[in-house]
Structure 1
Amino acid sequence: MSYEYLKPMFGNGPLTFEQLTEKLDAAEGVKLVNLKDGGYVGKEKLDAAEARVSALQQQLTQANGKLEGYDPEWKTKAQQMQQEADQKVEAVRFDYAIRTALTEAKAKNPEKLAKLIDRDGLKMVDGKLVGLDEQLKALKESDGYLFEGDKPAPEIVKPGSPVYRTPAGGGDLDAFYANNPFYKKKT
């Protein structure tokens, strides 16, 4: 690298740092840059990058021209297919959100109950259904049998279920029949 362009600043003698900075600030067409900061790119690198960008731009133009030659409406078809795919994905997410909400609401049959939901009155906002709580509340009031109750199911025991004796002497049976006047303890 040649530094000949700096000779006019120095003249014939040495300079202090302050004198050098003053002369650099006043000089036209001379600018010193620290390359380690990345603020400056060499002309060769810039020219190479510009050549690469123009080559890629030309390839893109050629590819688009070929696609339009095969099918002039390829862009609109691609956009339409993307919209259809997005709509299908959104419908699946919507159905899943409804069924999850119905399961959490303790619906006895979420699939059948989902058919009673007015889908037009619902909106998906940040993955949550807005308007479903009101519909579920109305359905619980009008058709409560579609939902499980909050009380646990009663435990049903067959009448006449035997009380088993313990091998040690029947203490369970004695306690069970303690108030029966016809029962006699076995000794």
Structure 2
Amino acid sequence: MNRETLQKFGLTDDQVNQVMAEHGKDLEKSKATESELEQLKQQNTDLTSQIGDRDKQLKDLSGKADGNEELQTQIKALQDQNKQAKTDYESNISQLKRDGAIELALREAQAKNPKAVKALLNDGAITVDDDGVHGLKEQIEQLQTSDAYLFDTEPEAKPSVKVTQSGNPGGGIDTNKNINDMSFEEMTAAYQKNPALFG
């Protein structure tokens, strides 16, 4: 998006400035999210490397501690702690990736209140892996249909309905019609409607 494109749409300079300012804010938010994700990836790489180094050191130490049952027990406890720390860290990274992806998808879908829309999502159906996010796009599209008011989209113009009265407003009886000119069906309907006409 650039100024020339907006001006081609017939926007004034003031309107162009406002649109560009809003667009700039969105870009800053996206850059901040991308930057955070890059930092998390780097931290993940560093910590995975550190945990790998510790596991190697513990394995080496375990070999040297043969015959010392107390030391072997301590080493085993440390190995278990390392495994748990790695599992917890990977789980946190996965959750952060998922939250970032959801946040970005809701922003792109122009959710008016991302927190409210997020509450309507089935979190268990959203998965994140190396190929991306799964189960999120479908849910957002469904919400855009079922709860369109939650999103900033141009409302579609609904065709106006013109109501016209059809038939005989007198319930099928023409009260101005002479009884002698009525058919048998019209006389039966008229009698049922108003027996006094035949009195």
> What interval of TM-score do these two structures reach, taking the shorter chain for normalisation?
0.3 to 0.5
TM-score normalised to the size of structure 1? 0.44
Q: Which has the larger radius of gyration?
A: 1
TM-score normalised to the size of structure 2? 0.41
If asked which structure has higher relative contact order (CA below 8 Å, sep 6+), I would say: 2
